[in-house]
Structure 1
Amino acid sequence: MSEPIVNAESGGSSVTAAVQAESRGGAACSRLLAASRLLVLILPQLLVVSATAADSAITLVALMFLMYSWLADDWSWMVRPAVWMRWALALWLWMLIISLFAYDIDHSYLMSLAWIRFVIFCAALEHLLLDQVWLRRLWCSAAMTAVFVALDGLWQYKFGADFFGYERHSADRLSGMFQRPKIGSYLMMMFMPVVVGMYIYFAPERSRHSRLIRIVIGVVIMVLMGTIFVSGERMPFLLALAGCLLLLVLSSGLRRRDVLIAGVCMLVSGSFFVNPVSLNRQLSTVTDIKQVAETAYAKAWSRAFDLGMDAPWLGQGVDAFRFACNDPAVGHADKITTCFKHPHHVYLEWFESTGIIGLIGFIGFAVAILRIFLRAHGSGQLSMMNYGPLASVLLVLWPIATAGSFYGSWRACLFWLMLGWGLAAVRGVQGRI
């Protein structure tokens, strides 16, 4: 009789231990979830403070998401990956393969291995971190940060130094709180989520203070668009205008009258903040388009295409442009005129780095993202709240737009935040696509 009692006791202790372990695992999952959401919430600020800090936060969120999946034994996001993730994983594997033949093998491998953090981070936003409550909180964080950054930039434009004493980058370029002149790029990416989200969350047509709300929204549009205009960054200004046109085409829940009013606010802001220097720089875009072959960007694009054609199937390796551009032994030496750290064109960067196969893979990735949003829009399930991140993502993928590096730069962090934000918003409405 004693033996069964001992077995029962040992069995009971095992069950108790299992329950305690499960409880500890649940507590750990809760802490990981809270920490990850907090990091995502402050990403709009980290992107202003330091690119390294933002990239580190993205890496931590990706690692904590993997740990959460292990503790919760939930790998559904990997077992049944979305179409966009299949393309991204295929791209990652191809990046690892072509690194064997890269211009700089060690650097290509390191960049390829690290690139997976963006994919996991995006999956974390889509599958776990951003429910409806946290989507609203992220919007609040982004909106407050964008407005503050814009006001800081306008202060620098007016007085030569911003709130913190940082001087402008040059006579025709603002830097705001950033170390480099990228305030316009930041506000362009934030513009659509902030403005559209403000309209949706405050819903002026359902408010007793509809006129006041519309005035506030108009002022915010003027501040954001005015700062983008005087920043001296021409492509962000053009993309912000294109984003408004895209919104006008896609809008159904948002009344087009309000979009047109927003356009008038932007024109007013442009005339209000304009000075001869900033106006001349923006208008010089027309001249640059007529003489595009002579611009520095066009010369970098030509060199990127030349490097890609030197190794058309495998490319020069991930992030190889910064090293191979000035090397006369690669491609045609007469193409070496203007070199940057990257080609400033996302599709040429993929072609130069990963060859034709990698470029096809990236186009497949971009089309998969586009189909997700268009399918949701066509079914009528895509709420207006999602149009902001949608517009920002589509504008960055616009083939004729200049762009930052897609492999590990500040702009890559901003892009993947917007993509994860948009995917989470779509998933919250209609589930997996």
Structure 2
Amino acid sequence: MSTKKIWTRTLGVAGVTGGLVLLSAAASQAAEGPLGGLGDGLLGGTQVSQSHDASSDTTQDASQAAGDAAGAAAVQAPVTLGGVELGLTTSSSQSSGSSSTVTDADGASVEQSQEQSSSDATNLGVDLGAITLDPAAMLEGAASGATSSTDGAQDASAAEGTAAGAAAVQAPVAIEGLAVTGSHEQQQAQESERTVTTEDGATSTTGSASQSQSATSGGLVLEEITADPAAALSGVVSGGAAGTEGATDASSAEGTLAGAVDAAAPVRVGGLSGGFDDARSSERATWREVTDEDGDTTGSRTEQAEATRTGGAFSTGALTAEPAAALAGALSGEAARLDGRDEVATESTDVRGLLDLAAPFHADGLTAEGWAERATAQRTDRWTTTEGGTARTSTWSQRADAVHPAFATGPVDGDVLGWAWGRVNQQAATAQR
């Protein structure tokens, strides 16, 4: 941030405080030289006193004091973080099996076997790009004041003061992007078979096998983000007072307080995209085969398979917004009093304010798509074997369905505007004899 840019958008802090002190003193002590002590003590002014003799032998003392003060400060603290990457992976697997054979005294037997296995894996990743921060602030203020007084047949005093201040704050930030990804995979398998043999030598075998797989993955990617919030504040306070004491006492005071705030926060998001995909499949087979004591065999085998896939994805283009707000206000007041044969007092107050808002934005648009797919298949084989040969028949079927919806929008532009204005004015006068 350049020094010139900060100085052009400012708010009074230290200066405003000094001006409030001057205005308060001027309004409350107009008849007694309200800023005489303040000019000497705070502002380090120079006092000049003089006396002279008039032809009427009247002595008149006069004094004056004036001073000013100013200051400024600035700070900047750029910071850069190289980025962060996080990852987590978990996996597990297991398997088991069993087998048994039972034979009786006649030679008949039963054989059984079974196997099972499964595995599971999960992955998670987070990638945060580099982050850059460059906060900065600047503050400046100035105050000035002057007093004068005259002591003689009629005492008179006057004081005036002004304070101004400004401050600017800016905190640009940039994030190169953020990506979050995850996946999960799972597999299962199972097989079993049973064979029965009689004492005549006939056998019967039945079995089944199945397996399934699933894979789910997803992610979210946020492109580069930049933001440049800034605020500038400024304020001015001025006040004055005058008074006389004699046959007729008179006093007057006036003051003005004005301030403004400007704030803006331009933001740009490079885009957001994401999606997920879930794929699953399963297979199952069953079989049966019987052989009699003559050696003739009949058998069958059925296989089934199914696969599904569902998912979706979306993408948004860059989004740019420039919200801004401006607030300005002013407060002024006057008061006068005359004490003599007739007592007269007047007061007036004026308050004004203005608020202006704007938030233009632009979005490149949105695209989205989805998918839902399913496929199935089945096959059955049958066979018979005798002394004359083997006869085999097969039947099969397949089916596939798919749905792919899609959606898209064009660019979007908008500008949100708003403003408000107000004023309050009050006047009062009193007279008493």
- For Structure 1 versus Structure 2, the TM-score category normalised by the shorter chain is under 0.3
Q: TM (normalized to structure 2)? A: 0.19
> RCO (CA 8 Å, sep 6+): is it higher in 1 or 2?
1
The structure carrying a bigger helix percent of its residues is 1
Rg larger in structure: 2
